[in-house]
Amino acid sequence: MLSSLKSQDTSKVFTTLASIATSAILVRTIYEVRRHFFTSNYKSSPYFSRRKTIIIEEHKEDDLLNKEFQAVDTYLVNEVSSSVSRLKVRKDEDMKRLVTNLEINEEIVDIFKNVEARWRLILKHEMSDQGRHAKFMKSYELTFNKKHEQMVLNSYLPYIMERGKAIREESKVIKLYPVDFESGVSEYTFNFDHPITFETLAVDSELKKAVLDDLNTFMNAEEYYRNSSKKWKRCYLIYGPPGTGKSSLTAAMANHLKYDIYDLDVSEFDKNPDYLERWLIPGLPSRTVVVVEDIDCTIKPQNQGEKKVKVSDILKQLRLCAGDGQIVVFTTNHIDMLDPELLTPDLMNMHIHMPYCTISAFNQIAFNHFNISHHILFEEIEGLIKKVGVTLAEISGELLKSSDAEVSLQGLIKFLHNKIAKYDKFKA
C-alpha cells in the first residue's frame, strides 16, 4: 500500500484518502494516501513543506506479500546499497546467492534522472483482535521533492518494479516438482541445480541455434498470441536414441527461461484419466516447463492401440489446459511408436531430432571437459565419429575417465575403434 505524507502537526492531524494509479505495472493496486500537515517547529521549515513521502508496506490487507515491497527491497540492496554502512545478510530459498537487507531505520539515497530519492526501512507496531495480539509491519518510506511527484509515480517506481523483478529472475533457484496421478504435485520439491546452458549444451550447433531462436521468438510473442486469440503456449517433441541429450536440452530450456519444472509421470494415467484435465493441469502455474519423458514407454506391446489413444488424450489435454507462457516438452526414444496424430504441427509445434554425436557436439564436450578448442587427436576422433553412431553420453563417459586430456582422448579413440569393430562384426 502506498501512502503519501506531507507534514505533521503536533496538535492536529487531518487525513484525506485518495487513489493513485501509478502505471501499468502498479495497476490493480489501490494505495491509501494520507496527508498530515505539521505546525509548530515543522510548519516553518521550507524543507518539510517541499517534501512528499510514499509508503510501501510489506503486506497487503489480505496478509499476502506485497510484490511492490519485494521489488523495492531487491532493487535497493542490489543496486543502491553501496551507500549504506550496515546491512543484514540472509539466505533466500528462492535465490541462488545470499541476499542483503537494510537495517531498520537505515536510510539509503538513490539518484534517478538527477532527482534525489531517499528510502528508509521502518517497523510499525500494530495491535489486532481487540488488542490481544501484536503485529509488526515493515514498510519502506520514499521521500522526495514534491515537484517530482509525477516522475516518481510514472517513471521511477515502474523502473524499480521492473529492475527488482529482473534481478530476482536472474538469481532465481529453479525448482523441480515431481507429479504423478495418484498424489498430484509432490510436496517434496528439489532445487534444480543442473548447470547446463545453451552455451555449454553439447548438441549440433545449427540445431542448438534453431531451438534457442524458437524459444526466444515464443517468449517475445505474448502480445501476438493475445491479439490472435490464441493461448500463449508452446509444445516440443524431442526424440532420438537414448543418451543423445534429450534431458540435457530440456534442462537448458528451463535454465534459459528461468522456469520451474513439473516432471509429469503418466505411467498411471489409465487409473485416473479425468484427474489430468479436471485438477492437475489447470492447477499448474503459468510460465513453467511441463515435462513428459519417454512417452513411448506408456505403450505396452500387448495393447499398443489402446495406449496410443491414451497418450494422444494426454497431449490434447495438456495443450488445452496449459497456462500462459507454458512450455510443454515430450521426449521419446522411438518416434515411430507414436500415433501419427501426435506428430501434427497443431499438437507438436516443433519436432527436435537429437542425433548421434556430431563434430560440433564433440568439440563442445571436449571444451566443457578440458577447456580446449583444438588438439592433435581431434582430427582422428572426428573421422571415427563419422563412421559409427556414438552417443553424447558414451563420449562424455570416456572423457570423464581422466582429468588429463591426452589420456582421455586416447581412451576415446580406443573406444571408438572397438565400437566400429563390433558394428562391422554385427553387419557381417
Which pLDDT belongs to residue 359? 93
Considering the domain architecture, whether residues 133 and 256 belong to the same structural domain is answered as: no
Nearest to 238 by CA among 350, 340, 362, 102: 350
Q: Is this model's pTM higher than 0.85 or not?
A: no
Given 353, 378, 413, the domain boundary residue is 353
- Per-residue pLDDT of 204-222, as tens digits, reads 889 999 999 999 999 999 8
Instruction: Report the C-alpha gap between 151 and 158 in whole angstroms.
Output: 10
- Per-residue pLDDT of 69-92, as tens digits, reads 888 888 887 776 655 556 555 555
Total count of domains within the chain: 3
Q: Is the pLDDT of residue 68 over 60?
A: yes
Residue 129 corresponds to which cell in the numbers above?
483482535
Q: CA separation (Å) from 35 to 4, 6, 12, 40, 149?
A: 6, 5, 12, 17, 14
- Per-residue pLDDT of 340-378, as tens digits, reads 777 777 778 899 999 999 999 999 999 999 999 999 999
Considering the domain architecture, whether residues 148 and 179 belong to the same structural domain is answered as: no
Residue 268 corresponds to which cell in the numbers above?
498411471
Considering the domain architecture, whether residues 337 and 215 belong to the same structural domain is answered as: yes
Which pLDDT belongs to residue 106? 80
H helix runs in 182-335, sequence order: 205-219, 222-227, 246-257, 273-275, 281-283, 304-321
Considering the domain architecture, whether residues 327 and 388 belong to the same structural domain is answered as: no
Which pLDDT belongs to residue 352? 95
Considering the domain architecture, whether residues 340 and 367 belong to the same structural domain is answered as: no
Considering the domain architecture, whether residues 185 and 311 belong to the same structural domain is answered as: yes
Considering the domain architecture, whether residues 118 and 214 belong to the same structural domain is answered as: no
**Half-sphere exposure for 85 (CA within 13 Å, toward CB):** 2
Which pLDDT belongs to residue 35? 29
For residue 280, the 8-state DSSP code is: I
Considering the domain architecture, whether residues 159 and 181 belong to the same structural domain is answered as: no
Q: Is the pLDDT of residue 268 over 90?
A: no
Q: Is the pLDDT of residue 98 over 60?
A: no
Q: Which of 270-274, 341-345, 359-363, 411-415 has the lowest mean pLDDT?
A: 270-274
Which residue did the predictor score with more confidence, 229 or 386? 386
Angle between helices 405-427 and 359-370 in degrees, nearest 10: 150
Q: Is the pLDDT of residue 273 over 70?
A: no
Structural domain containing residue 130 = 2-170
- Per-residue pLDDT of 14-67, as tens digits, reads 333 333 333 333 333 323 323 222 323 333 455 556 889 988 888 766 556 778
Considering the domain architecture, whether residues 23 and 112 belong to the same structural domain is answered as: yes
Given 115, 143, 170, the domain boundary residue is 170
Considering the domain architecture, whether residues 78 and 200 belong to the same structural domain is answered as: no
Given 312, 334, 353, the domain boundary residue is 353
Which CATH number goes with the domain that contains 224?
3.40.50.300
Considering the domain architecture, whether residues 190 and 324 belong to the same structural domain is answered as: yes
Which residue did the predictor score with more confidence, 139 or 383? 383
Q: CA separation (Å) from 261 to 92, 168, 173, 184, 389?
A: 19, 17, 11, 14, 31
Considering the domain architecture, whether residues 367 and 344 belong to the same structural domain is answered as: no
